[in-house]
A and B are shown apart, each in its own frame.
Chain A
Amino acid sequence: MDTTQLLKGVLDLAVLAVVRDEDGYGYDIVRRLRVAGLDDVGDASVYGTLRRLYQAGALKSYVVASEEGPHRKYYGATPAGRDLYETWVKKWRGFAEAMDVLIDVPERETA
């Protein structure tokens, strides 16, 4: 199965999950997602998600000047973003449990 299709549905949650404790800039957020195991995550998708979440008020952003390279735009979760995160976590848990049950049934039957 193409994991990018799976990612589409959960990218909002994944992005909020990586910035909820520590703010990060675009590339850094992509890296954190990949380190966490989401290897197929694309920069464009993450960047688009960041913009959308920012426009929705779920993220705040600020620019940090850098002497060595370009300025970096950092993103962090707003209180609304944290609420959204909690909501999606609950949805995800319910969804994942349902999927686990679905996936486990044939295994038990064949076991």
Chain B
Amino acid sequence: MTTATSETAVTDADRYLKEIAPHLAALSAEERAELLDDLAQHLREIAAEPGPPLAERLGSPATYAAELLASAGVEPGGPPRRPLSIRATSMARRARGSAVGHEMVRLWPVLRPAWWVARAYLAVSLVAATEHTGGYRETPLPRLAGNHVLGLLAVLVAIPVSVRLGQRNLSRPGRLAVNAGNVVLVIYALSLLGRGGPGPTDAKLFSLPAAPAGRECLLNGSGQPITNLYAYDADGRLLDPVLLFDQNGQPVDNLCQGFDERGRRLSTDVRQDVNGALVPNAFPQHQSTVSPVEGGGLRPGIAGPDATVPVKPPAVVVPRLAPTTVPPPG
């Protein structure tokens, strides 16, 4: 037995490597270069250990190469054959190679609990969405059975359940189920991002309120759609009807489409003049909630009231006006 010096070890390793190289022709040039580079260091390590020359210790280079390719998951002349679990982690590894991926991996231990909380919210939000409650997003809090408090309670219950699931060492079927659920919730979360927020899933119903074709509809100072207008006199009496015109004398007719609290389109009875022509700027517009069939766009099988229910004027406090000091124009 001889103790290899550093120099002879390098020579021995390099000679052996040179003989292995031709047997790795099945690999792509990049893969091969990377493998040879790494292998050179490995062979030098072995050559530096006490023992006979590498060819004696490791066998023929051809056998060594074949064994290496097989165990590394690369068969000569064929694509890599690796177990699914390894391929999946390999993909994850490639993702980790990117800057964002790397940062995600670094932060993952911190992000995991955040994901557990987020998925609890998403799960409740998804249930709320399938319940078909919602409509406009006044709040990101999901509503269960039309109730925000129930939604909040559900989220509060779901969070510890989700965290517990995250912390527990689950059996394989359990883990598969949780992973499948995670995938569903991630897809749901992505769909929310695409749509702008949680809410029912019927795109036709829950798209932004439609203005008359080609024009934008009226929004108030908070950016909320104006779906009806109510005029009051100085004594706080509702005026019905009033005809509204803008500064150019054009009728105000670009109100937004109204929806009820369950997300269904409001039906509007547009007034008519004495000749039967529509007067879209007569306010308040008489609106009512409608049955699913009349509303159109509702998913089949979702029950709603059959009768139409008129929308009541909002409760408003009409301020007492100071006496007018400027004479009216005209």
Contact = CB atoms under 8 A, between A and B. Distances in A.
Contacts of A8: 70-71
Given A25-B45, A55-B93, A70 B10 contact: yes
B6 interface: yes
Given A48-B69, A49-B72, A70 B6 contact: yes
A44 B58 CA distance: 8
Contacts of B103: none
A73 interface: yes
A98 interface: no
Contact of B90 (A11, A47, A55, A63): A55
A46 B58 CA distance: 12
Contacts of B32: none
Contact of A57 (B38, B42, B46, B89): B89
Given A55-B93, A58-B89, A45 B6 contact: no
A45 B70 CA distance: 8
Find the residue from A26, A56, A72 having the highest chain B CB count within 10 A.
Answer: A56
A27 B6 contact: no
Interface string A69-108: 1111100000010001001000000000000000000000
Nearest to B82: A52
B167 to A, nearest CB: 14
Given A70-B45, A71-B41, A84 B85 contact: yes
A52 B46 contact: no
Nearest to A26: B42
Nearest to B13: A70
Contact of B48 (A49, A51, A69): A69
Interface centre among B68, B90, B172 (most CB of A within 10 A): B68
A22 interface: no
Contact of B38 (A42, A51, A87): A51
Chain A interface residue number, banded: 20 to 34
B45 A27 contact: yes
B59 A42 contact: yes
Contacts of A46: 71
B44 A70 contact: yes
Interface in B55-72: 57-59, 63-65, 67-72
Contacts of A84: 85, 89
A11 B73 CA distance: 13
A2 interface: no
A39 interface: no
Interface of A: 8, 11, 25-27, 42-49, 51-52, 55-58, 63, 68-73, 80, 84, 87
Given A48-B72, A48-B73, A70-B10, 18 more contacts: A8-B70, A25-B45, A27-B49, A45-B67, A46-B71, A47-B72, A48-B67, A48-B69, A48-B71, A52-B72, A56-B82, A56-B93, A58-B89, A68-B6, A68-B48, A69-B6, A73-B38, A84-B85
